[in-house]
Amino acid sequence: MATGGGYQPQWFSAIGQNYQTGMGYGETVTRAVLGSNPLTGVGMASYDLTSSALRGDWGGVAEGAGGLVGGFAAAKYGQRYLAPEPGAELGFYRQRVSVDVVDPNGMAATLPGGHGANFISAEPIHLGGRTLNRVFDTIDPTANGAKANGGYWSEKVYTDEPTWRMGVAVPKSADWNRGTLQAEWQPTGGWGWGGRAAPQVLGQPYSFTNQKLGFGIGWIQRGGDYQVFVPNSYKPTVIPPSAITVSPTPWSKQ
């Protein structure tokens, strides 16, 4: 699992990581139970924020606080109506270290550091038997923009633009992807990387980043949905163009 540039191949769950770092079995299980409850989970999150502050992990404090504040404020103040782009909300963004991640079993191609930083955590996964979906914006191979055979995919089909941009953290202001087309692909085999999408800041003038403290604050696409990255996706031997079905996104038809 890659988290903030670190990699712990023998533990593919937060519970395992807690136990590995010295947390007792009883506390590990207790945290799992409390954290799954909406009421006790808030208290547990507050405890984690305090612990991060005592360790001097201000990036952890910022991102944790963003989760708490965003969860309450989005419903209370209707941020969706004030957001500068679909799906954006006010929150914190933890800067992640760009470090290449290697599959210890040698099955998945290396996850480049720049892509690893786009995950909250990532692990090698087998692609065969899945139905993967991708939102992109051009079928012209000579044009700039996201292509049908790009690297990022999802097992979820998105029906509206705000949910897509928020779920897999695709800022519209960054001009990464206009989101006008969607692709479906059913790989017959191969390996990739899967995990939750990390938050992304919208950039100036919508956010502020403090390099020293290691976090940004302002308008973000929060991410959190499960995404799949396919290394070397542009090679026809990895994703054959004939295996992709393309159609307009539901929101581009409106």
Give residue-wise pLDDT tens across range 147-206. Answer: 999 999 999 999 999 999 999 999 998 889 999 999 999 999 999 999 999 999 898 888
Residue type, 75: A
Q: Find out whether 139 and 63 touch, Cβ atoms under 8 Å.
A: no
Q: Which residues contact 172 (CB under 8 A, 6 or more apart)?
A: 85, 86, 165, 178, 179
Residue type, 195: G
Give the distance between the most distant pair of CA atoms in the chain: 57
What's the average model confidence in pLDDT over 86-110? 90
Q: How confident is the model at residue 11, as a pLDDT?
A: 34
> For residues 218 and 63, which has the higher predicted lDDT (pLDDT)?
218
DSSP 234: T
pTM of the predicted model as reported, rounded to 2 decimal places:
0.71
> For residues 182 and 63, which has the higher predicted lDDT (pLDDT)?
182
DSSP-based three-state secondary structure for 208: strand
Q: How confident is the model at residue 91, as a pLDDT?
A: 85
Q: How confident is the model at residue 43, as a pLDDT?
A: 40
Q: Find out whether 102 and 110 touch, Cβ atoms under 8 Å.
A: yes
- Structural domain of 30: 2-253
Give how many domains the chain has, as a whole number: 1
Angle at CA 66, nearest 5°, toward 60 and 68?
A: 105
Residue type, 38: P
Q: How confident is the model at residue 186, as a pLDDT?
A: 98
Q: How confident is the model at residue 56, as a pLDDT?
A: 52
Half-sphere exposure of 218 toward its Cβ, with a 13 Å CA cutoff? 16
Q: Which residues contact 24 (CB under 8 A, 6 or more apart)?
A: none
Q: How confident is the model at residue 98, as a pLDDT?
A: 87
> For residues 234 and 75, which has the higher predicted lDDT (pLDDT)?
234
